[in-house]
Amino acid sequence: MTDILSLDRPARPAARAPALAEMPSLIGLTRDEMGKALAEVGVPERQVKMRVSQLWHWLYVRGVSDFDHMTNVSKDMREMLKRHFTIARPEVVEEQISTDGTRKWLLRFPARGAGRPVEIETVYIPEEGRGTLCISSQVGCTLTCSFCHTGTQKLVRNLTAEEILAQLLLARDRLGDFPDRDTPPGTIAPAEGRKVSNVVMMGMGEPLYNFESVKTALLIATDGDGLSLSKRRVTLSTSGIVPEIYRTGEEIGVMLAISLHAVRDDLRDMLVPINKKYPLKALMEACRAYPGLSNARRITFEYVMLEGVNDSLEDAKELVKLLKGVPAKINLIPFNPWPGTNYQCSSWDQIEKFADFINAAGYASPIRTPRGRDILAACGQLKSESERMRKVDRMAFEAMMIANHGADD
Ligand code: SAH
Ligand code: SF4
C-alpha cells in the first residue's frame, strides 16, 4: 500500500543550515515595506524602487538565499545589505522522506523580534502532475476544537509573514524548483513542471487569526513577478472566522476550505467552539458571498468522521441541505486519534455509506478513491506513533486529501 502516514526515517542526513542572525529578514516584506527598509539603511531614495524590483527578482524568482549570488548588484551594495539584513533560510532540523515521496521538514526559526524561537513542520505531498505543500500559520492554536490535537496546545505565537513564506522557499530549494544559480539574471522560471504546484494553509494554527501575516505571505506567493503561484492553487482552511472570511475573499482571493465537521449548531458548538461566536447561518452566508465562486471554483468543506457523533445518514442528509446552492466540494476526513481523546474514527463501512449518500447528491467523495483505504488503515495505525509524528501525519494526510479532492488545478 502507498503508506503516506508511515514515513521512513531520514533517507539522508538531516541538513543543517547556519542559524539565522538576529537581524531583520528581507523575506516576507511587501514592496513598500522593503522600500522603506532599504531607505532606512541608506539606499538612495532615487534607487529604492529599482533595488526593490532587483531584490524581488532574486528572492522570489531565483530563490537566492545569499546576497553574494545577486550578480547584478554591486559588491558595495551587497556588503551594505549584508550588514543590515538576512535572507537566509530557516534551519532544517530534520528532513524525512516517505517511500511514496512525501517529505516533511522540521524547521527552526530564530526569535528575531517575534518572541521566542520556534519549530514547525511543513509537509510536501507529490502526486501525478502536481505537488502540494502544507504550510503552518501559527505555533499552537487559540481555538479548542475538541477533536483536534493542536487545539489542546496553547498558542505559542503567530508566525511572521517571513516564516510562512520561508516554508515555501525552503520546499522549493529542497525540491529543485528554483532555476540554477548560473542562469542569467532576469530569467523567469517556468511555472510548468514545478514540484510545488499547490499550497494549502492547513498546517498548525488558525490562519485567519494571523490574518495580516498570512495575507502578506500569500500575496507574495501569488505575485506574478515572483513566486507566481496561481490563486486557484492556494487553499486556506479556516474553522470559520466569519469577518476574516469576507476579508480573505476581498483582500487575498485564494481558494477557501471550511472546517465544517457538523451540520447543527448544538453539535458544532461542541466540536468547533468558535461556532458559538459565528454560528452556521453566519458562516454559510459568508461562504455564499465568497467572491468568484463557480463550479470550477468551489469551496471545500472538511468533515471529520467521528464515530457516533456526526457520521449518521441523517447528518449526511442535513449536510447536503446545508450546502445547497453553494459551489462546494466535501472532504470526508477519517478522524486521526491522539492520546487522551474520547473520539473514535467512524468505521470504514459508515464512512462509505456517508460518502455514498453524498455522492448520490452530486458531490464527489474522496473516500471512494483508491487511496482511501490506505488512509483509513493509516488512521488506526497512527495510534502507535509519537506525538509529534502524529501531528505532522495529520498535516500530510490533510494536504493529500485536499490535493486529491479539494484545491482546483
Ligand atoms: N485551523 C484551521 C487549519 C488547520 S487544521 C482549520 O481548522 O481549518 C486542518 C484540518 O484538519 C481542519 O479541517 C481540522 O478540523 C482537521 N483536523 C484537526 N484535527 C484532526 C484530527 N484529529 N483528525 C482529522 N482531522 C483533523
Ligand atoms: Fe485550531 Fe484548526 Fe485545530 Fe480548531 S481544528 S483547534 S482551529 S488548528
Q: Which atom of ligand 2 is nearest to the CA of 205?
A: 8
The protein residue with its alpha carbon nearest to ligand 1, atom 15, reads 259
Cα(403)–Cα(409) distance, integer angstroms: 9
Read off the pTM: 0.87
C-alpha cell at 257: 476550505
Work out the burial of residue 203: count CB atoms within 10 Å of its CB; fewer than 13 is exposed, 13-18 middle, 19 or more buried.
Answer: buried
Residues that are catalytic? 121, 379
Place of cell 527598509: 37
Q: How far is the CA of 206 from the centre of ligand 2 (A)?
A: 6
Q: Decide: 210 in ligand 2 pocket, CB within 6 A.
A: no
Per-domain residue ranges of the chain: 26-84, 93-408
> How far, CA to CA in Å, does 277 sit from each of 202, 261, 265?
22, 16, 11
Q: Kindly give the pairing relationship between strand 91-97 and strand 299-305.
A: unpaired
pLDDT 10s digit of each residue in the chain, 409 long? 233 333 333 444 444 444 444 689 999 999 999 999 999 999 999 999 999 999 999 999 999 999 999 999 999 999 999 999 999 999 999 898 888 788 889 999 988 665 678 888 888 988 888 899 999 999 989 999 999 988 888 888 999 999 999 999 999 999 988 877 666 666 655 566 789 999 999 988 999 999 999 999 999 999 999 999 999 999 999 999 999 999 999 999 999 999 999 999 999 999 999 999 999 999 999 999 999 999 999 999 999 999 999 999 999 999 999 999 899 999 999 898 888 899 999 999 999 999 999 989 988 766 523 232 332 323 222 222 333 444 445 555 455 444 444 444 3
Q: How far is the CA of 16 from the centre of ligand 1 (A)?
A: 30
State the number of CA atoms in the 13 A half-sphere of 113 facing the CB: 10
Q: How far is the CA of 26 from the centre of ligand 2 (A)?
A: 30
Q: What angle do CA 81, 84, 89 make, to 5 degrees?
A: 80
What CATH fold (topology level) applies to the domain 93-408? TIM Barrel (3.20.20)
Starting from the CA of residue 147, give the closest ligand. 1
Domain 26-84 has CATH 3.40.50.620: no
pLDDT at site 35: 98
The protein residue with its alpha carbon nearest to ligand 1, atom 11, reads 398
Residue 365's nearest CA partner among 356, 378, 373 is 356
The protein residue with its alpha carbon nearest to ligand 1, atom 1, reads 206
List, in sequence order, every residue forming a beta bridge with 303; answer none if it has no partner. Answer: 332
